[in-house]
Structure 1
């Protein structure tokens, strides 16, 4: 048997003890080094924030970039600072912060996409639309793909680049799984409207058909189709297109009432056209349709017929607009009489009613409450499509903005 001396037996526990103490010492040194590193990063962070507060953004960004190189988790600090700058309107500072991140080679793809997205928002806020488009198009297919497409869609609408807006909205549908058919149909209608104004009838027809292909019997597309057919000299076909609006979307007939009457007049059918509009007054007796019908009835049927129609409207759909038209008709009927006091009374009533209806009659966005005297397909306040009610209200003015 191997003989082990007693001294070696005593030495083994001592050696194990020394090894354990050495490992604990190394761990302690490592913890101290980590603590020193954290303290150094904290001092650098405080230094960067101090430079920002002292209006030295360039040196602050350099300091914060060094922190990010030491600890990738501080990248979120850059994003927070950049967004803060953008919200405060300091877009140049925001651009510098996000530009530093975009130009780094050691970022993860997700962080690089995030930086490109934020930089695109910075450029968009600064009005640098071409640079915003380039930056947003650099965003990959990850978490920020859909927000980037939303920003591109917003930008294309600002630029009124409807073709690119259609592409962006279609891509956004695939990313979000949510329909954007309403917006796409409106973009086609915008192209059709521009083509009609440029007398590009073939281009107008193509855009109108594409809009109707996206949304069947789309109100605005049908209205434009009637305009296109009128430009071709085909009032009968135009009336057929607008008749669909009258049947399916009667609340929008006030937008085309004058053109409806012109098409019927071209066919020597003004009486039939007026009769259809009068029928619509049973359910659409507010706003501009009443104005058009009142004017046409006075021209075609005479004052007494206008008085009868407005009196009927006051029975089933009383409003300040109808009362104003009634006062206008009664004044016209009384002008042939010699009773000057009666005329002055009616003129005073009519003047007050016109002032009141002018100040109250507004179209209101159902999304943001923005109020306007004219009808918009896209709200000027929140840029939502088809958010305006086609009926003009006369109630108490809401607290929202107006124009």
Structure 2
């Protein structure tokens, strides 16, 4: 059979026409899709800027349905669900992203981090921990470790928190040593509760090495030594701490006075606290000085004169109330009522206040119960702030 070249010549123009028509059809379809997708996307963005989150979610869902391969729309949708508190829907969006085989490594790490945030916000701490641990060695490693730290604090897993803080201390430019010292002190407190004295002492020694200027480890060590019956050693620990950690003088003054009375160091401690009060007059040091003055002298009036000296230096309703408590008034029959009114007025002034959130408490906290911030409580009372 002879090959007819004329059919080839006729077929070439036909193939060209068909190819051109097909390309025009594809280009037209592509343009239509591009017009519809940005329209839905920008509509959702407009709703989001106007704080109409429900309508924004509907628009983004429409955009995702039109183009299911667009990862950015999935991230936007997942973040919106998380902000609205719809954590189960946010989890489904980010898990869907992670299940895609065509997802780039950068987007996969981003989706893993977003999923961990979903679990954290939902309070699913175990699943959040597992998701955050998968971010080791990724660009989100530092953020994941900070989230892990908060996670371990919430669950009071101080051993794990200490490990993460140690890693952050090595990797981050900032210092996590004070935070690490707190975690070691918390572990020591757990050991003390179980009467594991040696383990607690070793943990407190580590805390002092981590943060030599921190007040808490030395105070905790003195308390532990006192519980173990080493009162003189506990007294010496606090005396040394007054020099090494002067910022905590107000917190250490009264425990030091109590130890001094029990280990026959009242006179020496009295002179030490007198000097400290002269350089930095504060209510807690004043109370410690008065306590020792009463123990060293039978003259209660002489001890109470310290309140009058304090009033000469600074106006203080607390000191005035203490001074009036031992005075004889002209109308003595009204003294109990006056004293009760003063004590009622003084009570709020004796509280400690968090510098971060303003939460007030009758005792000093190393971590604020309100905002969970560490070292946010100044050692001074409200009246002295």
Scaled to the shorter chain, the TM-score interval is 0.7 to 0.9
Which SS does the other structure have where 1:380 is aligned? Answer: coil
Q: Cα RMSD between the aligned structures?
A: 3.6
1:96 pairs, out of 81, 89, 92, with 92
TM-score under structure 2 normalisation? 0.81
* Cα distance between partner residues in 1 of 2:300 and 2:219: 31
Shift of 1:321: 1.2
**Could you tell which deviates more after superposition, 28-37 or 214-223?**
28-37
Aligned 1:3-402 pairs, distance under 5 A: 28-39=24-35, 41=37, 53=54, 67=66, 69-70=68-69, 72=70, 75-298=71-294, 300-301=296-297, 302-330=299-327, 334=328, 342-394=331-383
1:282 alignment partner, SS class: helix
Q: Distance in 1 between matches of 2:207 and 2:320?
A: 39
5+ long unaligned stretches in structure 1: 1-17, 397-403
TM-score by length of 1: 0.78
| C-alpha separation in 2, matches of 1:67 and 1:145 | 34
Question: After alignment, is 358-367 or 301-310 more displaced?
Answer: 358-367
Distance 1:31 1:290 in 2: 86
Give how far 1:272 is off: 3.2
For structure 2, the residue ranges without an aligned partner over 5 or more in a row are: 1-13, 48-52
> In the aligned structure 2, how far is the partner of 1:210 from the partner of 1:226?
15
For residues 187 and 248 of structure 1, what CA distance do their matches in structure 2 show? Answer: 21
Say which is worse superposed, 165-174 or 281-290, in terms of deviation: 281-290
Query: Structure 2 vs 1, CA of residues 329 and 68 (structure 1 numbering), >3 Å: closer, same or farther?
Result: farther
- Tell me, yes or no, if the aligned pair for 1:285 and 1:313 is still in contact at 8 Å: yes
Is the CA contact (8 Å cut-off) linking 1:136 and 1:148 kept in structure 2?
A: yes
Following the alignment from structure 1 to structure 2, what is the Cα–Cα distance between the partners of residues 315 and 346? 23
Cα distance in 2, alignment partners of residues 310 and 142 from structure 1: 60
Q: For each residue in 1:35-63, what CA deviation from the matched residue of structure 2 results, as whole angstroms up to 9, or x when unmatched?
A: 1333564688799999x959x99xx97x7
Structure 2 CA distance for aligned equivalents of residues 255 and 190 of structure 1: 18
1:171-194: per-residue Cα shift (whole Å, max 9, x none)? 223443322111111111211222
Query: For 1:312 and 1:345, how far apart are their aligned partners in 2?
Result: 26
> CA 1:249–1:357 in 2, change beyond 3 Å: closer, same or farther?
farther
The alpha-carbon distance between structure 1 residues 26 and 68, as it changes in their structure 2 partners (threshold 3 A), is: closer
